[in-house]
Amino acid sequence: MSGWVGTILRVNLKHGTVKVEPLDEWRAKAFIGGRGVGISYMLDEVDPACDPLGSENKLIMMTGPLSGTSAPTGARYMVMTKSPLTGAITCSNAGGHFPAMMKKAGFDGIIIEESSPSPVYLWITDGLAELRPADHLWGRNVHETDDLLKKETHPEARTACIGPAGERLVLFSSIMNDRDRAAGRSGVGAVLGAKKLKGVVVYGTGKVPLYDKDLFESLTSKFLKKFRDSCNGKVPGLRQYGTAKTITGTQGIGVLPTRNFQQGTFEHWQNIGGEALTEQFLVKAKACYSCPIACGRVTRITDGPYAGEGEGPEYETIYALGSNCGIGDLGAITKANYICNEMGMDTISMGSTIACAMEMYEKGILSEEEIGRPLHFGDAEAVVALCRQTALREGFGDRLAAGSLKLARSCGQEEFAIVAKGQEFAGYDPRGEKGMGLAYATSNIGASHMRGDPAYIEILGVPTLVDPLSWEDKPQLVKDWQDTFAVIDAAGLCVFFSVRNYVTQTRDIRPEGILELLNAATGADYTMTSLMQCAERIINAERLFLVRAGFSAKDDTLPIRILHEPLSDGPAKGQVCELERMLPVYYDLRGWTADGIPHTKTLAQLQLG
């Protein structure tokens, strides 16, 4: 095989065994890699009705055929499991250097099954693997764990591990790789915590085999030149300001979630945006493996109550812990971000759950006695303190650790949880960005901007700008974006470079550049038709898992606030999301029934049982 290493590592934690097995060539080609191969294994081997934190659930780390290559941004991997936060399939995406090192160590993916009776970690190097005791690491934060694992294995090794939040089964805990890169969403860290696997350490000296090395290198040079030319001699915006620059766009069209989505604009937005972060706290930009963009932020707060250093915050963190909680203090947001990274928690769910609690406190649903303190929007000190309490499940943090939906349900007030399928929204209010509303509702992993991001066309104008308030054209556009993102995720690439440089720059959204790279790397002879069929196969396989887990059209919905309460301010004032008009058209385009279930004919065409 080329592109694919051709081997999978299967780890049985109950028996303490590791086994190397071949990656089936049909599975590889039909599902590409990453997210695709991951869901194919989950669908084959895991009962969708299982307890997400039980030993019968599996967790799969999977790279793509372009991970670890010289393809610009060939740095991603996927973590697939059944989510303890949502009960749905999940697919957490991260970059950094760990994914490339996993390929160089000799494996396309790792299948982790059963549970260990005591804490362990997995050490992989050049095709060999072993489980080692990790009692001495249990209770350590992510940074401490990374340091100790490198001392015990290899100084140039790369780690993916959990912190105290994952050990304590916080339902939105993350797996953190390379210290501060997060496979962040849906509670994948809690699954590792339940399995007593503290982390995975990889070091390898191998190279990814390429079908046509000369052609592949020519293509990577072509796409890098395209990228450089598009910069016109200037520093790329994402390198200069990071993803926090996005706040200018969301504030500008009135979709910046503020005070638990009660507003679409934030009066202190300039204090927490990309320019402010660069000016006040940025030390340097940081790139993932094989990335020319360098959107990562190495930051430092030198003094005061929020002193510290690390990476971030990114836009989604700034929305969730900032505007959504009414916080205009960038230092407090950055400190809360550091805590979440060190403890191993998803900043989106963390901030959104605090925002939910703030609104319920201000409306008299939660009391000061329950929380242990007053909890008003704008209380920066409380946000910082609650992040740590949640990770350790101390005091009110124990209730926050269940996420906003379970918190709101415990108060009999589900409508205050701004979620889809139990997962908190990303930083875009779908009342003013209708395509995002449809994307949230139909995402197989729950609300996510990484399952097909209409913000590119509704805010950024990439590849072309469409009216964010229109809904008639969104079903087809959302489907196309979702299919394209499935290819990106399966290939092992980052969307930031891919959307601008690998995707056709017209309204017809096609990943032409990825098609070229995949064929040069693998020799699989994909056509655009067969490649997009792979994307549909991936999405329908995920949907089958959901159906078997008990999900249906009733779960493809949005909160009452989004559907029936018009935005109160900003350019999108008076708008709601017309989901009920878009959803039937979307189902028809997908080949699904009115109940959101794939037709037998659709499954047959995609070779899915």
Where residue 429 sits, what CATH number does that domain have?
1.10.599.10
Crossing angle of the two packed helices 347-362 and 380-392, in degrees rounded to 10: 120
Q: 558: Cβ–Cβ under 8 A, 6 or more apart, which residues? A: 420, 430, 437, 440, 441, 577, 579
Q: Say if 219 falls within a structural domain.
A: no
Region 386-403 average pLDDT: 98
| Percent of the chain whose pLDDT exceeds 70 | 100
In this model, does residue 418 exceed pLDDT 90?
A: yes
Is residue 538 within 8 A of residue 39, CB to CB? The reply is: yes
Q: Whose CA is closest to 479, among 530, 526, 443?
A: 443
Instruction: Give me the pLDDT at residue 463, please.
Output: 82
Region 335-341 average pLDDT: 98
Region 586-593 average pLDDT: 98
Q: Say if 211 falls within a structural domain.
A: no
432 & 501 share domain: yes
Last residue of a domain, one of 144, 176, 203: 203
Burial status of residue 574 (CB atoms within 10 A of its CB: 0-12, 13-18, 19 or more) = exposed
Strands 109-113 and 7-12, bridge-based pairing = parallel
386 & 436 share domain: no
In this model, does residue 401 exceed pLDDT 90?
A: yes
The confidence band for 508, taking pLDDT boundaries of 50, 70 and 90, is confident
In this model, does residue 461 exceed pLDDT 90?
A: no
Q: Say if 85 falls within a structural domain.
A: yes
Q: Say if 228 falls within a structural domain.
A: no
386 & 430 share domain: no
246 & 108 share domain: no
437 & 394 share domain: no
Q: From the centroid of its chain, how far is CA 473? A: 26
How far is residue 256 from each of residues 359, 376, 382, measured CA to CA in Å?
17, 19, 22
Instruction: Give me the pLDDT at residue 464, please.
Output: 85
Instruction: Give me the pLDDT at residue 509, please.
Output: 85
Which residue blocks in 286-365 are alpha helix, DSSP H?
315-321, 330-343, 347-362
414 & 431 share domain: no
Last residue of a domain, one of 389, 420, 451: 420
352 & 428 share domain: no
Instruction: Give me the pLDDT at residue 462, please.
Output: 85
Spatial separation of the C-alpha atoms in residues 334 and 510, rounded to whole Å: 37
Region 555-583 average pLDDT: 98
Q: Say if 580 falls within a structural domain.
A: yes
As given in the structure block, the two tokens for residue 100 are: 């490339």
Residue 408: CATH number of its domain: 1.10.569.10
pLDDT averaged over every residue in the chain: 97
Range scoring the smallest mean pLDDT among 61-70, 73-82, 298-307, 452-461: 452-461
396 & 498 share domain: no
29 & 98 share domain: yes
In this model, does residue 505 exceed pLDDT 80?
A: no
pLDDT tens digits, residue range 70-114?
999 999 999 999 999 999 999 999 999 999 999 999 999 999 999
Last residue of a domain, one of 398, 420, 442: 420
475 & 593 share domain: yes
Q: Say if 256 falls within a structural domain.
A: yes
The domain of 76 spans: 7-203
Buried b vs exposed e over 458-474: b needs ≥16 C-beta within 10 Å? bbeeebeebebbebeeb
Q: Say if 175 falls within a structural domain.
A: yes
Instruction: Give me the pLDDT at residue 1, please.
Output: 87
Q: Say if 210 falls within a structural domain.
A: no
351 & 462 share domain: no
As given in the structure block, the two tokens for residue 393 are: 């499940």
97 & 124 share domain: yes
The number of folded domains in the chain is 3
Buried b vs exposed e over 475-508: b needs ≥16 C-beta within 10 Å? bebbbbbbbbbbbbbbbbbbbbbbbbbbbeeeee
| pTM of the predicted model as reported, rounded to 2 decimal places | 0.98
How far is residue 12 from each of residues 19, 52, 63, 130, 195, measured CA to CA in Å?
8, 17, 20, 11, 10
In this model, does residue 590 exceed pLDDT 80?
A: yes
Is residue 184 within 8 A of residue 348, CB to CB? The reply is: yes
Region 298-308 average pLDDT: 97
